[in-house]
Amino acid sequence: MSNLAFLIDDRDDRASAAERSQLMRFIQILRPKFDVEIFSIQIGEEAFLAELTKKEYVLILAPWDCYFSWSRVEAFYGITRTSGPTFAGYFCSPLNSVDSKNSKNIQPPSNAHRVILLDLTQDMPEMQAHWIWLLSKDITRAGLIPLFQGKTPPCYSENWMAQEELGARFENLLRLPEIAENHWKSLSGAIRVCLGAVWGWIFDESGATVPSAPKVFFQFAASADLLVFRFFISVQRLKPSQVVQSFWPSSHAVDSLPVLLATHGDFVRIHSFGESPFMELTVGFFPKTQRDILRGICRNFWIEPLDPLLLREPQFVPLEALSKFPHLKPFPLNAGKVHQLGLLQNQVQGLNQKLSEREFLIRELRSGGVGTPTQLPPPDAEGMLEAFRGHYFQIENELRELELEAQNLQQSASQSSSNEIVNLQRRILVLTQKEAGLLRSLAETMELFHRRFSKGGKTGAGGRHG
């Protein structure tokens, strides 16, 4: 079992009894996974450094102000490290970008290569414990899959080119069943803000290393308790300290990417990878019922340089190669068109069903009704029924052709044009109107038929053949 050092602020004036009780409950949740050792921050940085020489800890957690001020603990493990033990901060009460006690901006050290702050204000112990577990292992710090506990949901993926636009992507995203048929649709406003801010930053500010190559490998996945966007970006290389200063919220205007992500998202994670011109930006959301708790703009915030060898998931996968990875699915660029074609196909199938029902009624009408012996109708009635059948067979054949055409368009939605869809809609409308006319004529004929039999009955019918 891995060792975890948990520093707590036990001074009377710094935390309420409720916050301390919540923190102790959280520590108990961690104990099945870690050998947790609790330290008071009153031990001082010097004495704590001596403790670090006695035992190997995979993770050290400290109150946020202690985390920012104890720089020698960070240096103990190596400021420029890209793997190994981690020193992280946490807060148990809402944390704003300005410290209310001294009215100064909360700012990490200027030479900081990483900033990891965990929000423990919410009653989400299992999710918070999972984040601690992610931090404790090198192989779980990057990528999309480790973020989800249990079975990994489908990961919608696509490459973004520099010449493309956000366009209908957001609307297509909202139509995905993971959002449209789930509680996540209530967060569409926050999702829109974050996606728009990231898109603007990527294509307007970050710069591309190879203009003709994909600039972003975009991924989206959602479960019942977590929704995540992952952007693997080709950028102009920044030093780790520059990444921290570029993304720490309090250093920027209110409409900047860092502030918008911190304000509307529930966690932000950013990884740089040594000398490589790539960055991983991950933005996540928790269910709305858990976001309603009053908090400041600082939430779960994780910036860290990693060894490129820790990238275990595929990057910049071509569309035709996505099928090689079971958890990856192509992002539906034409979700609206596919949805429209699906409605058309359902309409065609519905009309076919109506045709089958009317054909059955015609057969019953020709035979004299259910449970009656077969009778030869007068020649004029026979002719009308045959005419009905001929028209229905013609409509049925045309509808089947349209159904095949709709299926072909749906299979090649990325190449189909809006004009083709509109033309298909018009043809279906014409057939629908034809069907309505035939049904009215059939109804009138049946009404005449029933009036004749209600007046003459079987005697009248038999009299025609006598």
Alpha-carbon distance 380 to 84, whole Å? 92
> 94-103, 109-118, 240-249 — which is least confidently predicted?
94-103
> 273-287, 294-308, 338-352, 434-448 — which is least confidently predicted?
338-352
For 58, residues 6+ apart whose C-beta sits below 8 A from its C-beta are 2, 3, 4, 34, 85, 86, 136, 137
pLDDT of residue 381: 55
Tell the residue number behind the tokens 């200027």, with chain if given: 110
> 155-169, 191-205, 232-246, 444-458 — which is least confidently predicted?
444-458
DSSP letters, 403-465, are HHHHHHHHHTTTT--HHHHHHHHHHHHHHHHHHHHHHHHHHHHHHHHHHHHHHHHHHHHHHTT
> b or e along 394-414 (b: 16 or more beta carbons within 10 Å of the residue's beta carbon)?
ebbebbeebbebbeebbeebe
The CA distances from residue 204 to 171, 196, 455, in Å, are 22, 12, 83
Alpha-carbon distance 412 to 82, whole Å? 45
Alpha-carbon distance 456 to 217, whole Å? 78
Amino acid, res. 428: I
pLDDT of residue 345: 55
- Backbone φ and ψ for 96, nearest 5 degrees, come out as -95, 170
pLDDT of residue 284: 93
Average pLDDT, rounded, for the chain: 78
Q: What is the dihedral of CA 257, 259, 265, 266, to 10 degrees?
A: 140
For 317, residues 6+ apart whose C-beta sits below 8 A from its C-beta are 157, 159, 217, 324, 325, 328
Q: How do 86-91 and 278-285 pair as beta strands?
A: unpaired
- What percentage of the chain reaches a pLDDT higher than 70? 68
The pLDDT of residue 100 is above 50: no
- What percentage of the chain reaches a pLDDT higher than 90? 29
pLDDT of residue 466: 37
Eight-state DSSP code of residue 311? -
Amino acid, res. 294: L
Q: What pLDDT digit, counting tens, does each position of 237-295 carry?
A: 788 888 988 888 876 677 888 888 888 888 999 999 988 888 999 999 988 655 554 44
pLDDT of residue 463: 40
- Helix, strand or coil, per DSSP, at residue 251: helix
Long-range contacts of 381-389 (CB under 8 A, 24+ apart): 381/449, 384/445, 388/362, 388/438, 388/441, 388/442, 388/445, 389/359, 389/362
- Backbone φ and ψ for 139, nearest 5 degrees, come out as -75, -10
Alpha-carbon distance 196 to 275, whole Å? 28
Alpha-carbon distance 64 to 33, whole Å? 23
Instruction: Give mean pLDDT, residues 49-67.
Output: 95
Q: What pLDDT digit, counting tens, does each position of 351-398 carry?
A: 667 777 777 777 666 665 554 444 544 445 556 666 666 666 677 667
Higher pLDDT, 383 or 54: 54
Domain residue ranges in the chain = 2-330, 335-463
Burial class for 307, CB neighbours closer than 10 Å (0-12, 13-18, 19+): middle
pLDDT of residue 412: 59
pLDDT of residue 306: 94
**Cα angle 89, 90, 91; round to 5:** 140
Burial class for 57, CB neighbours closer than 10 Å (0-12, 13-18, 19+): buried
In the chain, the largest separation of any two C-alpha atoms, in whole Å, equals 120
Here the tokens at position 437 are 């006319």
CATH topology (fold) of 2-330: Heat Shock Protein 90 (3.30.565)
